[in-house]
A and B are shown apart, each in its own frame.
Chain A
Amino acid sequence: MKYELVAGFETHIELATKTKIFCGCTTEFGGEPNTHCCPVCIGLPGTLPKLNREVVRYAIRAGLAVHGKIADVAKMDRKNYCYPDLAKAYQISQLYAPLIIGGYVELSNGRKIRLHHIHIEEDAGKLIHQHGDTYVDYNRGGVPLIEIVSEPDIRSIDEAKEYVEKLQQVMRYIGISDCKMQEGSMRCDVNISVRPEGSEKFGTRTEIKNMNSITNIAKAMEYEYERQTDLIESGGKVIQETLRYDDATGTTSSMRSKEDAHDYRYFRDPDLVTINVDPQEVEEIKANLPELPADKCRRYIDELLIPEKDAQLLTKYRKISEYFDEACEGVKSAKTVSNFIIGQIFRRTETEADKEIFDVAVSPAQLNELVKLLDSGKIRNNLAKSTLEKMLDSGKGAMEFISESDMGGLDENAMTELCKQAVESNPKAVADYKGGKEKAIKSLVGFVMKNSRGKADAAAAEEKIKEIIG
């Protein structure tokens, strides 16, 4: 029997505010242990948390970016659990009245992964387990998080990967988080179950935690899918439990036993007052959102006639798309700009990290100048390409490498002369062409291009050569 995978995500994203959610301590990553703390964020009795206004704004930004509905009224709740990463024995979170309701993330196959809600909450401290003892650092305690809870709409591992990538991309675009999975500023838990293909009823799900990269998410899901189907096939039953993914072995193992089953006894936090969202503020935040990656991608395809694959590459990181937008200013064909970026500049920014920063020696304005020289017919494509390489090496503008004599193309006589030379000095190619080998003409055109230092128009040269050969 074939089994269908069903998955939903809970994604935690650390917000890039300057201070923590309920106190003025810095949110800076790292630092000596327990030096970014105060009585509020280590949960001492008698302290009063006060909500950071910016956290609400960032969360609204996130909500709007994924088409969620911003609640009119939101409230904070206490989630009670006893564990050393939270000194208060409760986490301040939202359950009954979260800030954002609904929303969706659209995948490239057209499916929309619906979101249940997005809520704001505080992060917990960091635990280091050593020799059976636990060392606690509360620097991260109280750092603001949003938790994005999806519906169980994901049906394959590829969809899961794309969902996480899309979330990461859009949250980075709107500047609310750097979403670094390795550093923990983006963390995913996945709920996964299987069911016989065609069945409507959901199977029993397990929850996998502790995956710190998209690759690991895929591996963990693959392992868990196999484990669950094997279990059912052999007559067993999946039990609902929380699993930890072990990167070293590529397997999942049980993390919580049954008696620790979730019982968080949520209730309204009496220390924190109701949030009444001001619709005017929501409108302001909406007006200040940048063009979102999905919209940008669509615009590149529909209006600038960029192939879909290239449009995705150009919109993957905000810096690249901004570079592209600027370099396209007033050019005839955006495709030319795109080709230079993807064909040549990307070779200088090989890693994903480099692409994200996109610190390129050639400014968008310099690339724009080069493309305009090409547009106006002053230089040919080959010369533009080699010039761009020199510009990338030196950071200098195009005119540093192009002389007056390079510009203006080739006049009619010089072109005819060069084509004649090409035919005379390559009798074999000519014979091949006459014998029916269409491709042989390319080497003759190549001769003309080389000897004109790229100034000749390749198509025109081909015409001319055919004319000469007859």
Chain B
Amino acid sequence: MVTREDVENIALLSKLFVPEEELDGLTKSMQEIIDFADTINNAQVTDEGFDSISGLSNVFREDEVIESYSSEEILSNAPEQAENHFLVRNRE
């Protein structure tokens, strides 16, 4: 069962502000999402299962330097920037 406290905690961990009046609605939605995901547990399976759909292993790259992007390109989608840094404003 998803509780109001679960939702509050998830919001906190995700650094999201959730207004008090939305908590009940979100708790209900979250429960529906979990229930939907849970249908997978009803599937009848006989093998031991797997933890990766590709079944691949040992995909590596060699330790060779590839030219990096310019800081202009790297910062081009930043909501805010200053002195070639991403800028994160304190909202508190």
Is B87 on the interface with A (CB-CB < 8 A)? yes
Interface band, chain A: 35 or more
Q: Which of B12, B15, B66, B71: most chain A CB closer than 10 A?
A: B71
> Is the CB–CB distance between A37 and B68 below 8 Å?
yes
A132's nearest neighbour on chain B, judged by CB, is B90
0/1 interface trace, chain A 345-366, chain B, CB 8 Å (1 if under): 0000000000000000000000
Stretch of A17-25, A370-378, A458-466 with 4 or more beta carbons under 8 angstroms from chain B: A17-25
Residue A107 lies at the interface, judged by CB distance under 8 Å to chain B: no
A254 on interface, CB distance cutoff 8 Å: no
**B residues near A23, Cβ cutoff 8 Å:** 66
Which of B12, B52, B63, B85 has a CB less than 8 Å from the CB of A273?
Answer: B52
- B70 touches A (CB below 8 Å): yes
B contact residues around A339 at 8 Å (CB): none
Which residues of chain A come closer than 8 Å to B57, judged between CB atoms?
A: 273-276
Q: Which residues of A contact B82 (CB under 8 A)?
A: 135
Question: Is B56 part of the contact surface with A, judged by Cβ < 8 Å?
Answer: yes
Within 8 Å CB of B87, what residues of A? 133-136
Closest Cβ neighbor of B85 among chain A residues: A135
Residues of B within 8 A of A268 (CB): 51-52
Contact A52 B71 (CB under 8 A): no
B63 near A82: Cβ-Cβ < 8 Å:
no
Partner of B75, one of A34, A51, A272: A34
Pair B51/A53 contact, Cβ less than 8 Å: no
B36 at the interface (CB under 8 A from A): no
- Residues in chain B near residue A46, CB distance under 8 A: none
**Which of chain B's residues has its CB closest to A35's CB?**
B71
Bin the interface of chain B by size.
35 or more
B66 in contact with A24 (CB, 8 Å): yes
A32 x B65 contact (CB < 8 A): no
Chain A, 267-308, CB within 8 A of any chain B CB: 268, 270, 272-276
A residues less than 8 Å from B48 (CB atoms): none
Report yes or no: A25 in contact with B60, Cβ–Cβ below 8 A: no
**B63 in complex: contacting residue of A19, A32, A275, CB < 8 Å:** A19
Q: Is the CB of B59 within 8 A of A84?
A: no
- Chain B 33-51 interface mask (CB, 8 Å, partner A; 1/0): 0000000000000000001
A45 vs B33: C-alpha distance when bound (angstroms): 23
In the complex, A387 Cα to B13 Cα: how many Å? 69
A35 pairs with B68, CB closer than 8 A: yes
The residue in B61, B62, B66 that gathers the most chain A C-beta atoms within 10 A of its C-beta is: B61
In the bound complex, CA of A51 to CA of B60 (Å): 5
Q: Nearest chain B CB to A256's CB is how many angstroms away?
A: 13
Min distance, Cβ A374 to any Cβ of chain B, angstroms = 47
Q: List residues 1-52 of chain B with CB under 8 A from any CB of chain A.
A: 9, 12-15, 51-52
- Bound: A33/B88 CA distance, A: 15
The CA-CA distance from A192 to B89 in the complex, in Å, is: 34
Question: Quick one: which of A26, A81, A134, A135 contacts B68, CB cutoff 8 A?
Answer: A26
Would you call B74 and A34 a contact (CB within 8 A)? yes
Q: Which residues of A contact B74 (CB under 8 A)?
A: 34-35, 37-38, 42, 138
Tell whether, in the assembled complex, residue B60 and residue A53 are in contact, meaning their CB atoms are under 8 Å apart: yes
Report whether B86 and A84 are in contact in the complex, using a CB–CB cutoff of 8 Å: yes
Tell me the bound Cα distance from A208 to B51 in angstroms. Answer: 35
Query: Taking the complex as formed, is A54 at the interface, i.e. its CB lies under 8 A from any CB of chain B?
Result: yes
| Chain A residues close to B by CB (< 8 Å) | 17-19, 23-26, 32-39, 42, 44, 50-56, 75, 80-82, 84, 128, 132-138, 259, 263, 265, 268, 270, 272-276
21 pairs across A/B with beta carbons < 8 Å? A24-B64, A33-B84, A34-B71, A35-B74, A35-B84, A37-B71, A44-B77, A51-B60, A51-B61, A52-B60, A52-B62, A53-B63, A75-B51, A128-B85, A133-B88, A133-B89, A136-B85, A138-B74, A263-B9, A273-B52, A276-B58
Q: Beyond the given A37-B74, A38-B69, A54-B63, could you list 8 further A-B residue pairs with CB under 8 A, ordered by the A residue number?
A: A24-B65, A33-B85, A35-B70, A35-B71, A35-B74, A51-B59, A55-B63, A134-B88
Which residues in B have some Cβ–Cβ distance to A below 8 Å?
A: 9, 12-15, 51-54, 56-66, 68-71, 74-75, 77, 82-90
